Structure 1
Amino acid sequence: MGHRFPNGATVGELQDVMRQVLDAARDADLALDTFKGLTNAERDHLVACRLVSPDFEWTLPGRALLVDARRSLSVMVNEEDHLRIQSLSAGWSVSASDAEARACLDALSSRLPFSFSPEFGYLSASPFNCGSGRRRSAMFHLIGLAQSKRLPAVLTALSAMGVSVRGLFGESSRAIGAFVQVSVLELAQTEFAGACEYLLREERESRTLVPRETLTEKSTQARDFAVSSRSLSLADALRVLAWIRWASVSSLPGFPSSPRAADAALTTLDIRGTMGEEHAARQRADALRAALGA
């Protein structure tokens, strides 16, 4: 785009990039809400919904976030790169997300010049992301593999396929509560789908190896802990949610009838505690009690 990457750009360059992107989105008639500034509550909610990166420096000049009405598509301006487009969909529906992101990219690329090198492909602030400029990711709940002690072997097999495994909030985060992201940069969609199908099969098989009595005991302990707690760390909240979700999938009495209750609670947790960790810990406890109907 004729500008240095965000980590080396001047304020003027960043603001110029932002104007170009916003103008292109408007000219393309993309139905996106634009946020040039966010309250702490808005920012925390969008991070929890995976619509914005936890590391997005939204208070700095030249930053903007564009989000669609369904909250399934977001465009970060001047995050690590000048432009980062994300599309999210529920369930195993990578093709739907791919089509939505591609439509947005096509609309913007017809109005914006992108830096391309015949040797390296599309250029990025990180050399690891050069090339196609596309990452496919899926989030999994691998509590069965974790409990049956099979998770390390499965992750090693995924690595051999060229699939990286990261924590719930992406790069550098840990897989707390057995919530993980698997992602690829260069594999074709069919290969990525095959890797994910392998992971689904292994997880389903592993869940059959854990006795129902063990599931009932640990889920009940997690539920009782959440109900009696008035504040929870993020790690504790995720561990509790992991057991609530599995109990719901298994239709255990005393738990939500659908795992979607746990999924919804996951998007309301205060991740970074921008209003203070004490406030965040209370909010997490309230969210889990609400999910449990307590």
Structure 2
Amino acid sequence: MSWINESGPFNGIVMSSRVRIARNIAGLPFPSIASPEVLQKAVDMVKKSILESNSILSRDFDFVSLRNLSDVEKYILVEKHLISPDLVERAEVAAALINHNEQISIMVNEEDHIRMQCIFPGFQLDKAWELLNRVDDIVEESIEYSFDEHLGYLTSCPTNVGTGMRASVMMHLPGLVATKYINSVLQTISKVGLTARGLYGEGSEALGDIYQISNQITLGPSEEEIISNINIAVRQLMENERMARQALMQSNKLEFEDRIWRSLGILTHARKLSLQEFMSLLSQVRLGVDMGIINGIDVVMLNELMVKCQPAHLQAYIGRETSAEELDVARADRVKNELSKVT
């Protein structure tokens, strides 16, 4: 079970919680300047640290060499948030270890030698960090990290030096978007060292009113302080979002519900859907489900549908290379088929 197909706390607003840490191997040049031989050595060392460890977790991981995957297979992993687009760009020298329930993934030779993450459904940052910390300890049993007494963990990018931690919570915020408070709210969190990114992280668009809230500062505060800071901000964001949703409902209930039901109607009957239109309509349906306006559909099903209708998943669904228009037609067809099971 992964964040996609499992329910979690407060999942009407918080879709997932993820903690990622960056590590480099002592004595090896950073990936950006390392030779192919050194990068292969990093892959071998990380693979051995997990698959040959004495931990019970070692039997739960699969090793994936990105050079052996098709482009579609690589981007399916990106769309499931198991690897980053940057790792795909380095596919010839990159690898990943992914556990069977897809909660933990370890990327090798992205910007740093090791980037490991744990992702849980709903609002569970503390739980994600607890599990990831155990995995980090397992790797460190056989690999010495690049570490400085004063600076902490050394990373390719100075913004990650220190804890090397990036903790993030993926939130669905249609109420704040619709009431036009989203920009002021995001400016406020930036004042406490947090930032908002789109669906696939830095540089990506906030499709479907989905934002990833994460820390900007890794040097100074401890891991626990970073997570506590995000937890406080997320609880406030959840309250702001609930108030915004209630305000929309109270200002014009008929228009509010009509927009939600129209969105479901279009998704159910459209002949073609662009990714942007699909995500926008799905956002309204998700809002309707969480507000109790639409029954018979749950947010877990909508998470699965969202991922199934991303470009690489659709390419796999079709089974061949397609044009952009064919993808839009296939997306509408898949949405219609999935929703017909529950509506």
TM-score (norm 2): 0.79
Match of 1:179 in 2: 210
**Matched letter for residue 61 of structure 2:** L
Q: Give the corresponding residue for 1:266.
A: 306
Residue 106 of structure 2 is matched in structure 1 by 75
2:63 to 22, 34, 39: 34
Q: Tell me the distance in 2 between the aligned counterparts of 1:158 and 1:289.
A: 38
Identity of aligned residues (%): 26
> What amino acid is the match of 1:162?
G
Q: Tell me the residue number matched to 2:49.
A: 24
1:88 equivalent in structure 2: 119
The question of 1:139 aligning with 2:177 is answered no
Task: Return the alpha-carbon distance in structure 1 between the equivalents of residues 190 and 337 of structure 2.
Answer: 38
In structure 2, runs of 5+ residues without a counterpart are: 1-24, 316-320
Residue in 2 aligned with 1:12?
A: 37
Task: Give the deviation of 1:65 after TM superposition.
Answer: 1.2
Deviation by residue 1:198-238 (Cα, 9 ceiling, x = unmatched):
11110011100113322222223322333343332221121
Structure 1 residue 58: Cα displacement: 6.7
Please, which of 184, 194, 200 is the counterpart of residue 238 of structure 2? 200
SS in structure 1 at match of 2:308: coil
**3-state SS of paired residue (1:135):** strand
Q: Is the 8 A contact 2:289 2:298 kept in 1?
A: yes
Give the C-alpha shift of residue 278 in structure 1. 4.2
Q: Hey, what's the Cα distance between the residues in 2 that align with 1:153 and 1:92?
A: 23
Question: Are the structure 2 counterparts of residues 8 and 42 from structure 1 closer, same or farther at C-alpha, using a change threshold of 3 Å?
Answer: same
Deviation at 1:292, TM superposition (A): 2.3
> Equivalents in 2 of 1:202, 1:278: separation in Å?
38
When the two chains are superposed, the root-mean-square deviation of aligned CA atoms in Å is 2.1
Whether contact under 8 Å (1:120, 1:130) holds in the other structure is yes
- Decide whether the 8 Å contact of 2:74 with 2:88 is kept in 1: no
Given the alignment, which residue of 226, 229, 234 partners 1:191?
229
Relative distance call for 1:256 and 1:288 in structure 2 (3 A) is farther
CA distance in 2, matches of 1:289, 1:124: 46
Look up the SS of the partner of 1:105 in the other structure.
helix
- Tell me whether 1:290 sits opposite 2:330 in the alignment: no
Can you list the C-alpha shifts for 1:50-82, whole angstroms capped at 9, x where unaligned? 111133227733311111111111111111211
Using CA pairs under 8 Å that are at least 6 residues apart, name the structure with larger relative contact order, 1 or 2: 2
| 2:10 corresponds to | none
CA contact (8 A) 1:117 1:123 kept: yes
C-alpha distance in 1 between matches for 2:186 and 2:91: 37
TM-score where L is the length of structure 1: 0.91
Secondary structure class of the residue paired with 2:331:
helix
Contact in 2 for aligned 1:6/1:79 (Cα 8 Å):
yes
Per-residue CA deviations over 1:245-277 (Å, capped at 9, x if unaligned) read 011112324x64312221111222224687453
